[in-house]
Amino acid sequence: MSEAVVKAAVLKERVGEVVSAKMEKTIVVRVERRMPHPKYKKIIRLQKKFYAHDEEKKAKQGDTVRIIECRPLSRLKRWRLVEVVKQAEAPLEANV
């Protein structure tokens, strides 16, 4: 009984698209999930925005990123950037 059992914390992980990267060291990530409607059973898309901490400013708008839950960093930030899964494609230049 003297041996203490230490449980590892299971951290939530989400993958989503960067909607905004205009703030300092903060990105806004839109995560989309699909689930059946409780009554009608049609598959619906639910979207939620998360504020995530991006220390090195790696993520740009349109990138697909993986974020993980962490301690509260500010009033809204409870997530931090783990990796950029996919870079956003460069916008096509308009030929005039």
Burial of 84: CB neighbours in 10 Å, binned 0-12, 13-18, 19+: middle
Q: Structure pTM?
A: 0.82
- Consecutive 10-residue averages of pLDDT for the chain (96 residues): 76 96 97 97 98 96 97 97 93 59
Q: How far is CA 48 from CA 33, 84, 95, in A?
A: 9, 19, 36
What structural domains and CATH numbers belong to the chain?
13-86 (2.40.50.140)
Contact 79, 29 (CB under 8 A): yes
Sequence-ordered strand ranges (E) for 10-72: 13-23, 26-36, 43-53, 64-69
